[in-house]
Amino acid sequence: MIRIGIFRLAAITAQATDRDVVAVDQKINFLSGAGPGQVLRATGTVSRAGRTLTVRTAHLHAVTADHDEHLVALALATLMARNSSPAAEEHDRG
């Protein structure tokens, strides 16, 4: 649930507000676990932002109280923007 929220938020902020965002593909590699008391820090980047498709990556790190961190998960998503209303779709079709 969290991974979808992160990608969707990134996609919405990068796309026009009158468009919905749909996940075309998502892949997550869980690399290690986080220990008790560790804080999770997620960072995301836009690898490619096109008119319709965008590719996003996210890295999830576990951070200790001593500020040591290690990679916990790596995610890749391809998202598609589409018109959010039937009237907008009609307008695009001409």
- Spatial strand order of the sheet with 53-63 comes to 19-30, 69-83, 53-63, 39-49
The pLDDT tens digits along the chain (94 residues) read 445 555 555 555 555 556 777 888 989 899 998 888 899 888 888 888 888 888 988 899 999 989 999 999 998 989 888 877 665 555 555 5
pLDDT at position 1, please? 40
Instruction: Encode pLDDT of 42-66 as tens digits.
Output: 888 888 888 888 898 889 999 998 9
pLDDT at position 68, please? 92
**Tokens read off for 53:** 């498709």
The values of phi and psi at residue 14, to 5°, are -95, -15
